Amino acid sequence: MLDGRATSSVGCSTAGVLTSSAMLAGGTSRAQSRLSSPTPQGTRGSGAGGRQRLDGKASSSSRPSSRSSSPARVFDARVMATAYRSGAGDGRSRAATRMRAGPWVGTSTTAGGNSRHLRGAGVKTRVLFGNDASAADIDDAIELEAPASVAKECFYEESYAATQRVRVANKLTMKVETNGVRYRVSVETDLASEHLLLHWGVAPTKEHWDQWMTPAENIRPPLTTETVGVCQTMFTQSQTGRMDEGKLNCVIEGNIIDGDYAINFVLFDKKLEQWLHQEKGGFFHVPLPQPPAPEFVTTTLSVVEEYEEEVEEIVYEEEEEDKPPTPAMAEDAVTVTTPDADETDGAVMFSFDEDEDATPSPDGLTSRVMAPPVDPQPLADKTDLGVFASGIQAMKKLLRGSTFDVEEVLAISETPTLIPLSAMDDVQATIEEKEEEIMPPVMNGPIEEPPVFEIEPVVEGPVAPPQPKTIKKMVKKLRTIQREVREALPVKLVEGSWVITNTIEEVVHNEKEVQYTIGALVEKDPKGGGVRLRVEAEVPWNLVLHWGIVPRGARADVWSLPPESWRPMGSSVYKDKACETPMKRFESSLYGLSTLNYVELELGNAPTAVRFVLKEANGTRWVDHNGDDFVIPMPEASAASSTLDAKSQQDMRDATDVAMAAVARAAEMNLNSIVEVADVAVLEPEVEKDVEVEVEVAPKPEISIMDDEDDEEEIVVAKAAPVIEGPELVEVDQAPDVVVAPPTPEPVPVPVKTASSRVTSAVGNGREILLQGFNWESSKSPSSWYANVENLADTIGRIGFTVIWLPPPTDSVSLEGYMPRDYYDLNSRYGTVDELKSLIKALRRNGVMSLGDAVLNHRCAHSQGPEGLWNQFGGKLAWDARAIVADDPNFGGKGSPSDGDFFHAAPNVDHSQSFVKADLEEWMQWLQKEVGYDGWRLDYVRGFWGGHVKDYMEATQPGFAVGEFWDALDYKYDAPEYNQDAHRQRIVNWINAAGGLAGAFDVTTKGILHAVFERQEYWRLSDKAGKPPGVMGWWPSRAVTFVENHDTGSTQGHWRFPRGKELQGYAYILTHPGTPTVFWDHIFDNNWGHLHEPIERMISIRKESGVHCRSTVSIVRCEQSVYAAVIDDNLLMKIGPGEFHADGAWKVALSGQDFCIWTKK
């Protein structure tokens, strides 16, 4: 598209008949538009190039709609015109009525299956023009007379249902009601949506009004689902009354006592995947009814509480002085000794002296009491120590039967000691053991009085009086206080009538799907008077037709500026590539018809196709076809008469120069059939048409061809060559006796690599004949395509093919293999890797080299990157965005800028990256070693510099290599320019950049052959230098000629060879230098059975005559209706309906419709 901006999201599909005009045809559509589903990275459906936009931007997404076809209705213009003028309807269809009321009116008759349309005479129409037209201006419309015109045949008609998203404003009403106990929130809108959701949550408090909390289950309406902490509720159609019909409504009810503060929400259209917010981008906020404020009462309560108070207290501390040693205790005395803390670490020593002679045993009580505890700890305080010591002393006396004084115990208890509490159990156990020893056995008899023990007092040293000290401490106390408590009384809600408490109105904008009808009608003049295209659009805006043409010979995705004579008045040029033509606007209130925009184009001798989109006048809205352009096919150009019918004086001069040069060469070879027609006729009778004559010719020995020695002589750079103007046209009454050929410019050689530095010539032995081994449908074969070709390997070799071009072998996004993904996965739709290996071995046994179709320009990614773009590759070659050129507009490449043209359907590989080139070279070498390929067919080499190809060829050293450099020819209006030097120069430049290590398909020659057969201008087959006009004439050994391939023909038909002229085309390329290619369908498809035997015979004649890739061509006839040439002085050929005769030195080898081939006798 040439809009310079991304299009709006529009979806179109063919549907029904031509808009509301019904296209004035009495039958169904003669051509069907093809719709393709978009893939993550595009498709190959439009040939090698995909869709091409000059703005560098991808079109927006679209939604295809269903398609149906129905025959158009035919009505009498007189009846319709009467109905229009009277304002009365007759019940006919709205579409037909509107068409008859429009500017293009008239009767429609059918004869012989062709619809002929006559513009009605005297029928007035009302037409509005420009941006000022509106419904209010219909009364001021201009009345036009529909002019009469010659009848035309309907060639093509189609209509499209265009679904477009337009931004519209919609009313959104939020109504809040309450009955005192419950609340009800109604959200109502006039949005036209099939699946509208309320995405909502609740705000708990006023302070947190912007929070979204999960709604309680008791307030969720039906058709509600919980998602990510909020709820989504589907809108339903309003049922409140007739006035609300067509509106969507959602109601939420809840209890006021629950205390929710508000409802927050946005809208979500699930079908269109649109989020709808406030105009400023925020969410919608609806406060809820709150319960009434409660009444409060105050109550005084007595409360007892605990508190802390600081008090002072006097305590006594003992002075730390050295105490005198304690005198030894008397017999039977108990001594409690408190050693220094640093000596015993808090332990307490006890000793029991029973008599003076007693010697304590180490295992006795003393040792056990003196043993330190496991976990020695001091006693809590002095009081505990005294109590403990007193108990010990009292127990001692009790056991001995003696008495003791309490004061003594108290005195002992005041002695500072350090007895750990954990030792008390051990002491008690010791006492119990001692008691058992002392207690006498129980005896039967009177109990003796126990002995009395006296305790001698223990003499202690003086004790220092304690010192008073004042300390402060916190004391907990209780107190009673009086406190006032404010309590809320329970709220009593009273249920009443429902009343509206709040109404909020907002405006929400969304994209709405609107369907428009677009129609196209192509009519052609059966007498060659040109083609008319009418485009109609039932769109309410003022429109501009943004259009261009696809010249003959150009790729289907090419836009070209139409010639000035084809542009209607008021048209303007857009970026030298397209034309913008204002469409006329027609409105009528008859039957409530809507606005119709239309335009008519007179296209003369038609191009291949017309591409267009619709643009809003002075606006930004666009309407396109399923995200692509509308492409309207045109009929084949009518053949010119047998007389010279050039378009301009310069063309006539060029044709005359060519013809004169050919006559001169014919005279030199004694083939001057123009001057001596009678003599030539006697020597060789004219061959009858449609009669095949075969003559056995002994084959000649093979001639060794050394390409490297002759390359520099072949190359001519057109840009450096001087421009030679032809001689002035001189009118003569009769043919001159001697005709001198015009001067021929000397070729200017281009420096190329010498033979010593060249790896391979890439043209085999110079006598190769190439077979394309598949068509566009081969990947859909029910059985393995590799196996099918292997079954024909013997036949392929027998016919004479020496090279076969096999389909792409790798894993691919597209069925046909031209969207490669994993290079090392060779299990494709054509068969398995083992079947491929078996096929190549079978071909090699029959002397046929195999070419792998290497798609190096682009590669489809396996996954999306961080930015959501498809630029992450998998498999063995796990590249990332660095492997994609930096200026690729669709896939976020991070490599270097591109050095070729973009392929928009997939990421373009950056061959300047060293890791990319190393990986691809290794992969190609692996294919040679693992699979067995002998050479390469390189796809879409326009996308990267030829120097990269040179590196790949040097790394793989193929036996044969050819690149696809498909470029549009140079056109002047609807006809190719006679001089196509600039076109073939671009191909030669690419071959030279590749170091001559690969040939190229001779697209220039194919385009010129199209013009020759479509326009019957055979004089185009010679350039001004008297050589073939294609790459064949400049660098024949690198020119791979062809008539058809899987892109131009087959089921794609992007540039189909003129029907019925195929044998003339093969008669030309199979007898001329270069490496000829035969398309699979033309030699093995039963639908082309009439071509099989003639092509086989032509291949045999080529081999028998020794024609090779550098054979010389002497053009001996090049006129309006005939072309003839001698090749290597061994073969003579003629094509065209004009007369040509050979002398007795030649014999007919093969002849057919408008062609004949002679060989030397």
| Sole residue written with tokens 């989504």 | 232
Q: Are 161 and 626 in contact (CB under 8 A)?
A: no
What CA–CA distances, in Å, run from 104 to 81, 110, 123, 536, 606?
12, 17, 10, 11, 21
Burial of 325 (0-12, 13-18, 19+ CB in 10 A): exposed
Which is nearest to 1023 in space by CA: 1081, 1052, 983, 1071? 983
Tokens of 253: 């009810």
Distance CA 1023, CA 117 (A): 43
Distance CA 1161, CA 1148 (A): 9
- 3 state DSSP class of 190: coil
DSSP state of 733: S
Cα dihedral 338, 344, 350, 351 in deg (nearest 10): -100
**Taking the CA atoms of the chain, what radius of gyration do you get in angstroms?**
54
Number of other residues whose CB lies within 10 A of the CB of residue 104: 21
Distance CA 75, CA 156 (A): 20
Tokens of 1024: 């001004």
Query: Across 617-705, where does the E strand assignment appear?
Result: 622-623, 630-633
What CA–CA distances, in Å, run from 784 to 813, 837, 840, 894?
19, 13, 14, 39
The one catalytic residue among 964, 1044, 1062, 1081: 964
Q: Which strand (E) or helix (H) includes residue 161? A: strand 153-178
Cα dihedral 943, 944, 950, 955 in deg (nearest 10): -90
Distance of CA 386 to the CA centre of its chain: 97
The one catalytic residue among 158, 269, 523, 939: 939
What CA–CA distances, in Å, run from 410 to 385, 901, 954, 1059?
11, 116, 118, 140
Burial of 545 (0-12, 13-18, 19+ CB in 10 A): buried
Whether 939 is a known active-site residue: answer yes
Q: Which strand (E) or helix (H) includes residue 844? A: helix 833-845
Distance of CA 882 to the CA centre of its chain: 18
**Residues contacting residue 892 through CB under 8 Å, at least 6 positions apart:** 865, 867, 869, 871, 881, 884
Distance CA 507, CA 169 (A): 6
User: SS3 letters for 543-597?
Assistant: EEEEEEEECCCCCCCCCECCCHHHCCCCCEEECCCEEEEECEEECCCHHHCCCEE
DSSP states along 258-326: G---EEEEEEEETTTTEEE--TTS--EEEEPP-PPPPPEEEEEEEEEEEEEEEEEEEEEE----PPPPP
Tokens of 509: 């904008």
Distance CA 764, CA 729 (A): 45
**Residues contacting residue 656 through CB under 8 Å, at least 6 positions apart:** 726, 729
Q: Are 336 and 348 in contact (CB under 8 A)?
A: yes
Phi, psi of 916 (to 5 degrees): -65, -50
Tokens of 897: 């800028």
Q: Give me the helix-helix angle, 1062-1069 and 1003-1015, nearest 10°.
A: 140
Catalytic residues, which ones?
A: 939, 964
